[in-house]
Amino acid sequence: MKTKAQVLKEFSEYKVLIEAVISRIGMESVQDVLNHGINGGFSGFIYYSDTHKFAMTYRKKIFELLEEEAQQLGMEVIELVAGFGVFRGSPMDAEDKKELHEYINGGTPESGTITNVMAWFCAEEVCRFFDDTEYV
């Protein structure tokens, strides 16, 4: 696993997100998030009130990360988000899409679903920054 210093150097454009995630879950939880996902109950990412606040505070950087991921995968943002695990059992409906557009465009979604998904996406992506596994 990469050190925090290595990750901050390699992903300097996301320094604020790296610091925010690590300050909540701690370095000791990064590998657990990599192995099991953020929905396992990690500090600062359990309650909608926490994930909503996180997603709204870091909205611009989270959206940059989301756009970058979608671009790398050759997808549109909405298509990427619709494929997230939370939407596998219950596909993204029109209300979810509306709230995602609202979030992206600077509004405040009514429910906590989209902001929760954005916070979880961010936490998992930041933890992936620490993964030094070579994939072929």
What is the residue-level pLDDT of the chain in tens, covering all 136 positions? 999 999 999 999 999 999 999 999 999 999 999 999 998 889 999 999 999 999 999 999 999 999 999 999 999 998 999 888 888 778 888 888 888 888 888 888 877 889 999 999 999 999 999 998 766 5
Domain boundaries, the chain: 4-129
Chain Cα centroid distance, residue 45:
10
Cβ-proximal residues to 20 (8 Å cutoff; 6+ apart), any chain: 54, 57, 58
pTM of the entire predicted model: 0.91
